[in-house]
Amino acid sequence: MKRREFLSLAGGALAWPLAARAQPAKRIARIGLFLVPPRNLEVEAFLAGLRDLGWVEGDNIHVEYRDAGGDNDRLPALAAELVALDVDVLVTATFQGILAAHRATAKIPTVMITGPDLVTLGLAASMAHPGGNITGQTFFVTELAAKRLEILASLAPSMTRAGVLLQRGNPLNESTMSAMTTAAQAMKIELRPIEVAIPGDIESALSAVSSTPIDGLAITEANAFVTNASLIAAIVDKCRVPSIGAPVLATRGAVPVGYGVDFTAMFRRSAVFVNKILKGENPADIPIEQPTALKTVINLKTAKSLGFEIPPAVLLRADEVIE
């Protein structure tokens, strides 16, 4: 080998490790996820959705997770903390969560896993073109509550007094009760709102429920109820009347019948929005979605423990029956 060729090869060999060291480190995207409850199965569904799209925690993404310990009042501080970290995307859920995100930043792209109508709130220009930094998924809570009342009437045909479980201070209570009242009047059913403080003393919640004579109980879509199956189970057991809530509550045995959106599926689906944003799409141009299907779950074991049978007509509409 000629001396010039040897020196050239040797120089190249010495340059290889230097070039390798000079390559920039792989960038890890940071997602700021803040929710009311501690980490749960829904959060795992979100992470699974990200993995399906090639985003793996500890590899190419890092998730900064914050929970409010069941207390909505802590959400603004959590949002501000994540904004201060300058995360690439904020992810949250519920009316209170999205308001906290909106007040904390108008710059960082924000994904709403599930929550209220952003257009009505003035946080989006339209469903097709949000126009701001927030996109995600929504469903119409008030209409859902009215439909639950109709199903509850099918469970208890002789019902004349229906309890409506509400979280005290929830900003959607008024519109929810308005929609349910319209439905109740058509069915000649008297609504009896039962407000409980969450977080709060469970004994006070049970006392509020037991002091209200009712023939059936409709549980509203408050996040504090949806994520607290043990509390709802205790309330339903105290009432011992036909009850209906979110599907996840029936799956976990808290209520005999669940009707509504599949929250686990919505958490998984929200990863699609995060993926689009991390790949450069503008949230202002990513359409807000609504669930395409609602789900009915019937828990026969819970119904039996409460001492009543599910009518055949209600059983026929079930997407899932738990024996």
How wide is the angle at C-alpha 52 spanned by C-alphas 48 and 54, nearest 5°?
A: 115
**Where are the domains positioned within the chain?**
29-139+263-285, 141-260+294-322
Can you give the pLDDT at residue 281?
A: 98
Can you give the pLDDT at residue 19?
A: 47
Can you give the pLDDT at residue 211?
A: 83
CATH fold of the domain at 29-139+263-285:
Rossmann fold (3.40.50)
Token pair for 308: 């009543």
In the chain, the percentage of residues whose pLDDT exceeds 90 is 66
Can you give the pLDDT at residue 82?
A: 98
Token pair for 132: 């701001």
Can you give the pLDDT at residue 271?
A: 98
Closest CA to 120 of 87, 98, 153, 144: 98
Closest CA to 68 of 231, 220, 199: 199
Which residues of the chain are modeled with pLDDT < 70? 1-25, 199-201
Can you give the pLDDT at residue 169?
A: 84
Can you give the pLDDT at residue 23?
A: 53
| Pairwise CA distance, residues 319 & 199, whole Å | 32
User: Under 8 Å CB-to-CB from 187, ≥6 apart: which residues?
Assistant: 149, 150, 153
CATH 1.20.1540.10 fits 141-260+294-322, yes or no: no
